[in-house]
Amino acid sequence: MTPTEDTNLLKDRVLLITGAGAGIGRAVSLACAARGATVVLLGRELARLNAVYDEIVAAGGPTPAILTLDLSIAGGHECQQVAELIETTFGRLDGLLHNAAVLGDITPLESYDPDVWDFVMKVNLRAPFVLTQALLPLLKRSEDASIVMTSSSVGRRARAFWGAYAISKCGIEGLVQMLSDEIANISNIRVNAINPGATRTGMRASAYPGEDPGSLRTPEEIMSLYLYLLGPDSRGVTGQSFDAQPKPAA
């Protein structure tokens, strides 16, 4: 049996997943619940989160929790409330996946709207910072905690026209490196980055409107790396940036 086939892989773990209502976040939530995790579904839209909740319950997974929060306006106070809610409800947190993000504009820097820039940076970079800050005390108390941040190929090397999205993802790579150094002496917490690679979601369709979605992997097809990093098998692995899909041949 591979770790992915193990329906108890994440048994008794409590995981918070941002952007859980759609795309990759939805697939990770379903995949984790199917392996025994209690999933806290965080997102903007209640209806989407409710649909994921219903799917998990219908499949016989542990009862999830829903947290509606707009990460573009979430500050320290709101994130502290998230931490208190999780502590009161579950008394623990074993994993945190920063998955929510927005694309912003794809346009030359010369014409990039500074307000769009700020909005993208808030959702994609500031929110992972403040949420991690608020949740670290809970994560430190877990026997085995994993923080996973979502990067992108343009976070490894920024490309023309990708604007704040690219810069926010470069920031995510740096955040993982910095935090892993800071918590290197806390052996029960690890932090890593995932670049999902081209995946069939709404965001990908917005970024590449001319592309055939059928040519792309679905979120469900890239789950093994997420399960590995959020589960016990990655214990001791920290400060790294992983690709969920093999890189296309050059």
188's tokens: 């029960």
- Choice between 80 and 142, CB closer to ligand NDP: 80
Examine the residue annotation and report whether 112 is marked as an active-site residue of this protein: no
- Choice between 199 and 238, CB closer to ligand NDP: 199
- Choice between 24 and 136, CB closer to ligand NDP: 24
DSSP 123: I
Contact partners, residue 199, CB within 8 Å, separation at least 6: 23, 24, 216, 217, 218, 219, 222, 244, 245
Instruction: Classify residue 110 as exposed, middle or buried by CB count within 10 Å of its CB (0-12, 13-18, 19+).
Output: exposed
**List 53, 165, 226, 228, catalytic entry:** 165
**Least CB distance to ligand NDP at residue 188 (A):** 26
Q: Measuring CA to CA, which residue among 218, 250, 239, 237 is closest to residue 31?
A: 218
**Least CB distance to ligand NDP at residue 71 (A):** 3
Identify the three-state secondary structure at position 124: helix
Residue for token pair 């608020």: 134
**Least CB distance to ligand NDP at residue 38 (A):** 19
Q: How far apart are CA 6 and CA 23, in angstroms?
A: 23
Q: Which residues bind ligand NDP (CB under 6 A)?
A: 19, 21-25, 43-45, 48, 70-72, 99-102, 123, 150, 152, 196, 198-199, 201-204
> Residue with CB nearest ligand NDP?
23
- Choice between 93 and 120, CB closer to ligand NDP: 120
232's tokens: 């016990």
**Least CB distance to ligand NDP at residue 134 (A):** 15
Contact yes or no for 180/239 (Cβ under 8 A): yes
112's tokens: 């990039």
- Choice between 37 and 194, CB closer to ligand NDP: 194
Q: Measuring CA to CA, which residue among 2, 229, 203 is closest to residue 96?
A: 229
**Least CB distance to ligand NDP at residue 218 (A):** 10
Query: What positions carry a catalytic annotation?
Result: 165
